[in-house]
Amino acid sequence: MSDHFQILAKDENTAARRGRLRTLHGDIETPIFMPVGTQGTVKGMTPKQVKEIGAQVILGNTYHLNLRPGSELIRDFGGLHSFMGWDGPILTDSGGFQAFSLAKLSKLSEEGIAFQSHLDGSKVFLGPREVMTIQANLGSDIAMVIDECPPWPCEKDVCAKAVERTTRWAKACRDIAEDLSFLDTGHHVFGIAQGSTFEDLRRQSAEELAALDLPGYAVGGVSVGEPEPEMLHQVGVTIPFLPEEKPRYTMGLGTPPQMLKMIALGVDMFDCVLPSRVARNGAFFTPEGMFNIRNSRFTRDPAPLVEGLDNYANAHFSRAYIRHLTMAKEMLSCTLLTIHNLHFYLDLMRQVRLHIEAGDYASWSRAWIDRYEADEKNEG
């Protein structure tokens, strides 16, 4: 067993596990959802509010923070924790995904990814040395390696080359992290398994990365346009080939039922912009599904967004009031809905940990998903 990750309990009927990941800025209880703070902020919330809803770790993004305000400036302010006023763990993505999401502005080579900045058109280059140096400047507790995320669909030979390059880059990132004393000082580096929808390439990628003995691993290249059943299948075929004694992270997703299903496959960590993004469009999560506060049925509704969920939005405001704010385009509506949605996700993970410890995760999660999906379907 690794000295930074401890498995505390396992579910007998699924691959779900309850763990604890040790970082320089505190322990992370897993399974966990990580709010996204791409630009060094969780949109619409102060760090104090993020802490109050139970967030243990948040995300930043190497590509975006390096463009603005710059990693050296952040380093000079004592690192990202000090700069943004967050004293908990921070995971930073490497910028590899931006080569996929900003494909028209990027070009891949063996050395790395050349970008044309989406801000001002200037040239930016990210290779293994650049991303590890930037993340060292940021003081990331968990730094992701740079990887190549193939599109969906893609040809197998294209995907095979992406897998091979991802492995080479991961090894280079590990070696550079050692040269920078990043690993020796307690920071973690996570590899990212690729392979698109090709099971043999998924296995190859996972096994090659496992051989590098990194502190943790992620499943990448999912939720990039493929159908949900295919996405879940690829997570399921990748996880068994990642080291059991290391934390496993599925990047960039998902909905509450998706997370519960992936936890049953053995995933420990998640991040997603969904709960905060949909909040800015009036949507909120409940155990009966996701609804939009703009719906006229909420005009005179005195209930909180979710009964019994103890956060600032639910403790003080009715659905009717939050609907009024939303219809009036008041900024407070985005803040209140973001507080609620992120707390809903974080509280769901709290319940997950309790049920894994209790030994009834399989039956509990099945009932939770059935209720959420049935009621949401009926609402639709």
Query: Looking at residue 1, what is its pLDDT?
Result: 47
- Distance between CA atoms of residues 334 and 49, nearest Å: 14
Structural contact between residues 341 and 284, judged by C-beta atoms closer than 8 angstroms: yes
- Distance between CA atoms of residues 10 and 177, nearest Å: 32
- Say yes or no to pLDDT of 100 above 90: no
- Distance between CA atoms of residues 262 and 238, nearest Å: 11
Domains of the chain in sequence order: 5-272 (3.20.20.105), 281-379 (no CATH)
Query: Looking at residue 376, what is its pLDDT?
Result: 63
Q: What is the mean pLDDT of residues 234-263?
A: 97
Tokens of 349: 């993970």
Structural contact between residues 14 and 361, judged by C-beta atoms closer than 8 angstroms: yes
Q: What is the mean pLDDT of residues 204-232?
A: 97
Q: What is the mean pLDDT of residues 282-296?
A: 98
From the list 93, 141, 147, 268, the catalytic residue is 93
Structural contact between residues 271 and 34, judged by C-beta atoms closer than 8 angstroms: yes
Which phi and psi (to 5°) does residue 250 adopt? -100, 125
Which pLDDT tens digit goes with each residue over 134-163? 999 999 999 999 999 999 999 999 999 999
User: Which residue, 220, 219, 230, 136, is CA-closest to 185?
Assistant: 136
Looking at residue 35, the DSSP 8-state letter turns out to be -
How confident is the prediction for the chain on average, in pLDDT?
Answer: 96
Percentage, residues of the chain above pLDDT 90: 94
Q: Counting beta carbons within 10 angstroms of the beta carbon of residue 101, is it exposed (0 to 12), middle (13 to 18) or buried (19 or more)?
A: middle
Query: Looking at residue 378, what is its pLDDT?
Result: 57
Looking at residue 145, the DSSP 8-state letter turns out to be P
Query: Looking at residue 71, what is its pLDDT?
Result: 98
Sign of the C-alpha dihedral computed for residues 233, 252, 55 and 70 taken in this order = positive
- Distance between CA atoms of residues 364 and 366, nearest Å: 5
Helix, strand or coil for residue 238? helix
Q: What is the mean pLDDT of residues 253-281?
A: 98
93 noted as active-site residue: yes
Helix, strand or coil for residue 204? helix
Ranking 39-53, 101-115, 315-329 by mean pLDDT, the lowest is 101-115
Which phi and psi (to 5°) does residue 218 adopt? -125, 155
Global model pTM greater than 0.95: yes
Tokens of 353: 């940990």
| C-alpha count within 13 angstroms, C-beta hemisphere, residue 226 | 23
Query: Looking at residue 97, what is its pLDDT?
Result: 82
Which pLDDT tens digit goes with each residue over 117-132? 989 999 999 999 999 9
75 confidence band (pLDDT: 50, 70, 90): very high
Q: What is the mean pLDDT of residues 35-48?
A: 97
Which pLDDT tens digit goes with each residue over 156-186? 999 999 999 999 999 999 999 999 999 999 9
Tokens of 236: 């399921």
From the list 11, 141, 147, 271, the catalytic residue is 271
141 noted as active-site residue: no
Q: What is the mean pLDDT of residues 189-197?
A: 98
Query: Looking at residue 99, what is its pLDDT?
Result: 77
Find tokens 């909120």 and name the residue: 284
Amino acid found at 378: N
User: Which residue, 222, 221, 191, is CA-closest to 208?
Assistant: 191
